[in-house]
Amino acid sequence: MYSQQHAEKWMPGFLWAIALYKTAIDDTDRSIARALLRKLVAKYSDRPPMMASKKAIALAESKNKNLFEMRWTHRNRCGKVNGKPALMWEHTTPNSALCDKLITCETEEAIVKALRNYSGVCWITREEDNALNAAGFLTKRPKGWKNCYKSVGIEVIIKEGMPNENS
């Protein structure tokens, strides 16, 4: 969930990328425009997240780190597992799902609504990420991200002050 102000600030970039996609003259142009849209989604959500799993919070606290102040570039601050970051910057709803939604939006208001309602990112542990992937949730979230997380035992803590789904 993101603020109205944040969504509106990013609107020019999203409008441009969506227009490039919708006016593409061939599959190559469409593919390039979609890749651009995915990059925009990644940067749009590159803010300290409002969600983290209980296990990720425990790991961060053991290293005297506050996950709610960290961004993707800080993922190595809590150590590594087999040479890979122990923490994962997990898009609760895959970027591709938001891209699919944005491409179908017919108005600027619909785009802003989709951006505001995007669930964003959540810090999870590598172990939890492996569980999501093993359950088939790498790029799909059937029945929503909350159900997928719950089904593999990920408990999410939401930072106070996070916009709710109705605001």
CA dist., res. 149 & res. 44, Å (int): 23
Residue 52 lies inside a defined structural domain of this protein:
yes
What size, in residues, is the chain? 167
**Shortest CA distance to 41 belongs to which of 111, 144, 142?**
111
The pTM score is 0.88
Domain count for the chain? 1
Environment class of 96 (CB within 10 Å of its CB; exposed 0-12, middle 13-18, buried 19+): middle
**Shortest CA distance to 45 belongs to which of 108, 105, 97, 86?**
97
Instruction: Quote the percentage of the chain above a pLDDT of 90.
Output: 92
pLDDT at residue number 167 = 37
pLDDT band of residue 162 (cuts 50, 70, 90) is: low
Average pLDDT, the chain: 93
pLDDT at residue number 165 = 44
Residue 165 lies inside a defined structural domain of this protein:
no
pLDDT band of residue 161 (cuts 50, 70, 90) is: low
When pLDDT is averaged across residues 153-157 and rounded to a whole number, the result is 97
Could you tell me the residue range of the domain that residue 64 belongs to?
A: 4-158
Residue 50 lies inside a defined structural domain of this protein:
yes
Whether the CB-CB separation of 10 and 34 falls below 8 Å is answered with no
pLDDT at residue number 160 = 79
When pLDDT is averaged across residues 70-88 and rounded to a whole number, the result is 93
Residue 167 lies inside a defined structural domain of this protein:
no
Residue 110 lies inside a defined structural domain of this protein:
yes
